[in-house]
Structure 1
Amino acid sequence: MNKKVWLSIKGQQGFYNENPETIELLTEGELYNKNNSDYILYKESEVSGMKGTTTTIKIEEGGEQISIIRLGTTNSHMVFKKGEKKYDRYTTPYGDFVVSILTKNIDIKYDENKQPTLIHLDYHVNIQGVQGSKNTLEIQVKH
């Protein structure tokens, strides 16, 4: 059963010699559980630069792995697992890019009903094996 939730999403990206840039978004979303995985679904906006894209966050393996799946004007399937490097093809209106994601940390907090209330990701991204950035993503889920 889908449950309406409010999402407070804060992403920070910093290239190694610069101050990090922060993007914050408050949006309505949906939360549901299927096959022992939690899913959070929301529509991107102009704030994220991905208007026309639907994002699905899948929390699997008891919180050990998170997938962020984007479909629409931007298409990607990024996988985050602590200590592992994963690769993804990121399709945007400006072209396709190969990105590598090295996840430094995943932290998920749950409420008494075992529903996620806070997701925190700390990871490094390399685009086409060249440009690197340190990133954090924090998603608060308000039931």
Structure 2
Amino acid sequence: MNNNVLVTVHGLQHEIDDKEGIQTKQTGNYRLVAGKHIISYKEYFRDEETGRDATISNLLKISGDTVTLTKRGATNTEMTFKTGKTHTGFYETPFGSMQMSLDTTRVDIKEADDKIEISIDYGLDMNYSHVSDCTITMVIESLN
């Protein structure tokens, strides 16, 4: 895979009546380090609360059957997904921090020479209350 990649992330919360969910496409950088796929990319958006432009730096690590996404910037969190495992941590925003729990039911990773496709199903709890069952899909593909 090339060092320059396109990262497409599509998130869907099943309990919310929104069939399209949220999708973002960003360019990023890819490295293979000690058998782990490492992808870094930034998300740029307008913060509707403050009216200012905001950035989140993302670091995606794929190792075997485990996916870890670390976010730093406008929000801060680390999310680890592995089938049958629960990950707890904090989701930090400018307005405060919330306890987060991810109960992963499925992680599917497909690797090809110029593309990695990831699909994850998980339950999301915030502050000990179930928020939604979610699906996130990520496609990382080489840019020519």
Identify whether the pair has TM-score above 0.5, normalized to the shorter chain: yes
Instruction: Check if 1:55 corresponds to 2:58.
Output: yes
Number of corresponding residues: 137
In the alignment, is the contact (CA less than 8 A) between 1:25 and 1:47 conserved in 2? no
CA contact (8 A) 1:23 1:47 kept: no
1:1-143 equivalences in 2 (<5 Å): 3-15=3-15, 18-20=16-18, 22-46=21-45, 51-60=54-63, 62=64, 64-111=65-112, 113=113, 116-143=115-142
Q: Distance in 2 between matches of 1:82 and 1:36?
A: 20
TM-score, length-scaled by structure 2? 0.85
CA–CA distance in 1 between the matches of 2:60 and 2:133?
20
Higher helix share: 1
Q: CA RMSD in A?
A: 2.3
Runs of 4+ displaced beyond 2 Å: 47-51
Unaligned runs of 5+ in 2: none
Name the % identity: 26
Q: Which residues of structure 1 form unaligned runs of 5+?
A: none
For 1:130 and 1:4, the matched residues in 2 are separated by: 39
Structure-1-length-normalised TM-score: 0.86
